[in-house]
Structure 1
Amino acid sequence: MKITDCLFGYVYYKDKGLKGRGEDRKMAYFMTQERFNQYLRDWRQDYKIYAPVVLAGKGSFTNTDSVRYKEITGVEEIAFARKADYSAKEVVLPITQTLFYFTEDNWTEPQVSDKKILLFVRSCDIHAIRRLDDIYLRNGCEDPYYKVFRDKVRFALLECPTGFANCFCVSMATNTTGEYDLFVRLDGQHVTVGIRNPEFLMAKEQEIETEPQFVQENNVQVAIPAELRLAEVAAAPLWQEYSARCLGCGRCSFVCPTCSCFSMQDIFYKDNDKAGERRRVWASCMVDGYTDMAGGHGFRQGKGDRMRFRVMHKVGDYKRRFGYPMCVGCGRCDDICPEYISFANCINRLAGQVKEEKA
């Protein structure tokens, strides 16, 4: 046996004794948790390793937990069986990011760690980062502040053999992916690791033949109209319903793995009002004041108008530009909405509206 190809494919071994045909087999490694943790310790010399972890008592309500991305040291810290409340977006696109420091005479950019980033993510979140790449790297110009993080990222796939509540990734075709560097499966006290990137090659481990498992059916399903034009649905009465229900809190945008809106802030230091820093901070098209312009004019004052803009951008306008919807069907917006507004239900109602208009 010998390694024939390992870059962006499993570690492939050619076994000339396999039915005499020289067929390639997809291989992975099987090891104990302790052994895998040793690899994590070795990788931490060159990588910052982030994964979804359970933060006890940090949930939105009393005695509830939150699952968010944090640096880890061991595989036992990873929340394999729970969906992260916030996506891995906050690693590559920080909630608050200092772009540069300035004084009266000059400016300097902050230093960035030389370490690469290993993200333990699910298929939908890998697709989501691809959407962020479209916005920040393939939308006419490259954003250097995003690119410096993105170039460092490697993906460790977390399987989704079954879906979570409110997920509709199958409908959005984001339930499977091949764009990862390794996949990791926890089975009791043992770990299965499939390698696709030679940066993570392992030696002297038990080899097995396996593939990652992906969810094939969700409880929630959506149907996006093939052609979705604003003129057909701009005056639909369903938007006014959201004007009455939506609070304009923006929580749906902050948990969304594909929302990319931000605002800019100049922070001046108290000890020297001629020095400070410029920060990029997450923002939301759903909150009051986001569309305000000089002179006091503002677009989309009604919450229903904002909902229309959000939905049309996620499943209509973006798709016409890049060929696939912006929404990846993770269902986080449905999970967190205090008014129980369902984005999936809104898409289905929109599809019904389009069907009625065409009829």
Structure 2
Amino acid sequence: MGYKLKVEEFNKGLQELSKKYKIYAPKVFEGQGKFSDTDIVRYGEVSKIEEIEFNKKSNFSYKEVLLPITQTLFFFTEEEIKEPNVDEKSILIFLRSCDMHSLRRIDDIYLRNKFEDSYYKKLREKAKFVLIGCEKSFENCFCVSMGTNKTDEYNVYVKQEGNEVYLDIKDEEFESLFNNLDREPLEVIPDFALDNKIKVNIPDNLDLNIVKSKVWDEYSERCIACGRCNFVCPTCTCFTMQDLFYKDNGKVGERRRVWASCQVDGYTDMAGGHSFRKEKGQRMRFKVLHKIYDYEKRWGYHMCVGCGRCDDACPEYISFSNCVKKLEKAMDEVK
């Protein structure tokens, strides 16, 4: 059902929801940008609609809500192991269409990839999603090319125009909650970006011969292996393990998993001193082909959702979309 209501009424709804849900949305963190005295847009808890940033793309994706950057898996003593308690509150996340599509990719990896990850599942089962529309494309987005610019998989759609909020509610729980507010029924259709300035075309003849191309050599010179592209990506899910031992008892501590990046030095290090993909161009090749080749072979759709955050974040101005555009000529090279 679609509705129009005043900002004040919507905030009453958020206040009521906050009794059961932790509410996360893109918001402006002042002075915390990558340069001094600059801001950054990333996900944080909100309590009213005025805190939500609707007009800018978040620099980081929502994934850190469901996949914490650092997550304790269990505590250990000399005699027992105990998993940490999970917050009883459910989770409500405001996100855009591309991120809604990325959620399906994360579910593939953590819930449908041979076994279920219980730590992810505990958070995922508690989560519901509010869709934010995109009236127009943001810089570096290519979601239309990736088919992720539209979605109907949301619990609520929300749009703010001045002092009015427009809702499309699909969830019975939220429908009953907003029934108690002063609202006006009307049809609400989500806004979706229908065109991007950036367009990519993944070659139909793309195959593993592409690894022989010289196109990857460029990135050995340009990439500095910082891993930013992975950390802002809504579909990158790799992590490493850390055991933390407490100072007062070296046999007591906790095991954590921490985000990792296939682009950084040491990611492929193995016992005995072996390491793979030492050249940064080889790492770029691995990332690109995982996003737009082998993942599709298994799941039937590409891993990349075209949000463009990797291009936004790269300090060396390396463009993932431009790399994909080069693959058609690269395939001609290796035939």
Q: What's the TM-score bracket when you normalise by the shorter of the two chains?
A: over 0.9
Question: For 1:14-53, what aligned pairs fall within 5 Å after superposition?
Answer: 28-53=2-27
Question: Who is 1:260 aligned against?
Answer: 237
Aligned length: 331
Q: Quick one: which amino acid aligns to residue 231 of structure 2?
A: F
Question: Who is 1:320 aligned against?
Answer: 297
Cα distance in 2 between the residues matched to 1:357 and 1:293:
31
Q: Quick one: which amino acid aligns to residue 307 of structure 1?
A: M
Deviation of the 1:357 alpha carbon: 4.1
Do structure 1's residue 218 and structure 2's residue 196 form an aligned pair? yes
Cα distance in 1 between the residues matched to 2:334 and 2:196:
29
Listed as ranges, the gaps of 5+ residues in structure 1 are 1-10, 12-27
Query: Which aligned segments of 4 or more residues in structure 1 are displaced greater than 2 angstroms?
Result: 355-358
Do structure 1's residue 339 and structure 2's residue 313 form an aligned pair? no
Question: For 1:155-166, what aligned pairs fall within 5 Å after superposition?
Answer: 155-166=129-140
Q: Quick one: which amino acid aligns to residue 298 of structure 2?
A: R
Question: Who is 1:209 aligned against?
Answer: 187
SS in structure 2 at match of 1:132? helix
Question: For 1:1-359, what aligned pairs fall within 5 Å after superposition?
Answer: 11=1, 28-201=2-175, 202-203=178-179, 204-230=182-208, 232-358=209-335
Question: Who is 1:21 aligned against?
Answer: none
* 1:289-327 Cα deviation digits (max 9, x unpaired): 000000000000000000000000000010100001100
TM-score (norm 2): 0.97
Q: Quick one: which amino acid aligns to residue 315 of structure 2?
A: P
Identity %: 56
Cα distance in 2 between the residues matched to 1:236 and 1:357:
6
SS in structure 1 at match of 2:143? coil
Cα distance in 1 between the residues matched to 2:153 and 2:333:
39
Per mean C-alpha deviation after superposition, the further-off stretch among 90-99 and 195-204 is 195-204
Q: Which has the higher helix share?
A: 2
Q: Quick one: which amino acid aligns to residue 104 of structure 2?
A: R
Larger radius of gyration: 1
Q: Quick one: which amino acid aligns to residue 29 of structure 1?
A: Y
Confirm or deny: 8 A CA contact 2:220 2:280 kept in the other structure: yes
Q: Quick one: which amino acid aligns to residue 207 of structure 1?
A: P
* 1:93-130 Cα deviation digits (max 9, x unpaired): 00000000000100100011111111000000011111
Confirm or deny: 8 A CA contact 2:213 2:333 kept in the other structure: no
* 1:52-79 Cα deviation digits (max 9, x unpaired): 0001111101221100100000001000
Cα distance in 2 between the residues matched to 1:100 and 1:91:
19
Q: Quick one: which amino acid aligns to residue 177 of structure 1?
A: T
Listed as ranges, the gaps of 5+ residues in structure 2 are none
Cα distance in 2 between the residues matched to 1:171 and 1:195:
28
